Structure 1
Amino acid sequence: MVRIPASPELARGIVEEDAKTCHDAIARERDRRARTRRPWQQASRRIVWSRFHEIDVCLFVFIKLGEISMKLAHLLSSIALVATVAMAPAALAQEAPKLKVTPLQKEPLTGQPDKEVISVIVEWPPGSGTGLHTHPGDEYTTVLEGEVVGRKDGSEAKTYTAGQSYHNEPGVVHEANNKASGTAKTFNVFVVEKGKPVSDPVKR
């Protein structure tokens, strides 16, 4: 049922229960309201609706952009995490500085043709080392510059400085390192079995 605030004309139509009169009265009432409404009011209604529509659209776009930004940030964080995890093993597996070995001499041992004498100069960058290894013969080392830390398997480490020497017996597991901040240099002589590697790495 349509209810419109009554005017005298509309009231008479309803009381008389005259359908046509009531219908005409409603139409005239609507026309009267349309005529009495000022143009600026109609325009104001359109402007207000338009402004609310624009605000609603802006809010929708802002919310969607916020959701996209959050998803993008999450994606970038995931990519950064994956990249960090992927690069970590490579960083951990980075090799220590390598030794620089300069050969000096290689001659057969007099009276023992199955053995030979090999002499070299070894430069030890800071942080470098040999790792655990053995020799198929005797090793005689003299430190020329800096210092070298040597350790035989089962013994405590010992530091050798310039002018000091040490000896490693055949088959003894040992290692040497340069733990100082400067480069070290040694003179090494090996009396080993001919045709065999000067050193053999030991894996633990």
Structure 2
Amino acid sequence: MNASKNKNVTLSLTTFFLLLMNPFSLYSQNKDKSVETSQVPSGYKQNSGIKGTTILKSSVSNDSSKEALIVVAEFTPGASTGKHFHEGDEYAVVMQGVLELWTDGSNRPQLVRKGDSYHNGRGTVHQARNVGKSPAKVIATFIVDKGKKLAIQSSDADK
């Protein structure tokens, strides 16, 4: 079954973890396909300099209240997500470039570079900014509440 053609595919745990370990192979297969606006996460779509592409959206096995999304986010130099949070967990791998990752409650931002990974838990206010001179690319897997916005801008002022 081709998961990219069926938006309602239910992932087995094995398939999910294989995609989590190597999501870039799926992105490479689908990067030339057009993406409907409804598939682009609103939290990324609203920010200038960031292009978000959902490459997989699927129900989570044994939990109809959750869905899994794999998103490629591309940041131009200086681009920032602004402070936001998710109604679920975000697991991300930096594929290119360097980002400054600020998390609410931390004393200082963390630099994440190509090959680094990070996790933002449900409701954690955070912000990512490309601090490099070249584009940055992140592949993020989200396990979120079905039917909710992927990214919710924080009411706090941007850092």
* TM-score, normalised relative to structure 2: 0.67
- Are 2:51 and 1:100 equivalent residues in the alignment? yes
Conservation of the 8 A alpha-carbon contact between 2:84 and 2:125: yes
Correspondence for 2:64 among 108, 113, 116: 113
Aligned to 1:172: 124
SS at structure 2 position matched to 1:197: coil
- Are 2:96 and 1:137 equivalent residues in the alignment? no
Select the structure that is richer in helix. 1
Q: How many residues align?
A: 110
SS at structure 2 position matched to 1:150: strand
Q: 1:97/1:126 Cα in 2 relative to 1: closer, same or farther (>3 Å)?
A: farther
**Aligned counterparts of 2:120 and 2:93: Cα–Cα separation in 1:** 12
1:201 positional shift: 0.3
Q: 1:165/1:125 Cα in 2 relative to 1: closer, same or farther (>3 Å)?
A: same
Aligned to 1:192: 144
Where does structure 1 differ by over 4 angstroms across 4 or more consecutive aligned residues? none
What value does the CA root-mean-square deviation take over the aligned residues?
1.4
* TM-score, normalised relative to structure 1: 0.52
Which stretches in structure 2 are left out of the alignment for 5+ residues? 1-45
Larger radius of gyration: 1
Aligned to 1:36: none
Aligned to 1:57: none
**Aligned counterparts of 2:49 and 2:131: Cα–Cα separation in 1:** 13
1:98 positional shift: 2.1
Conservation of the 8 A alpha-carbon contact between 1:96 and 1:127: no
1:96 positional shift: 7.3
Q: Deviations over 1:29-67 (max 9, x none)?
A: xxxxxxxxxxxxxxxxxxxxxxxxxxxxxxxxxxxxxxx
Q: 1:96/1:103 Cα in 2 relative to 1: closer, same or farther (>3 Å)?
A: closer
Indicate the structure whose relative CO is greater, using CA pairs within 8 Å and at least 6 residues apart.
2
**Match runs of 1:5-154 below 5 Å:** 97-154=48-105
**Aligned counterparts of 1:96 and 1:180: Cα–Cα separation in 2:** 18
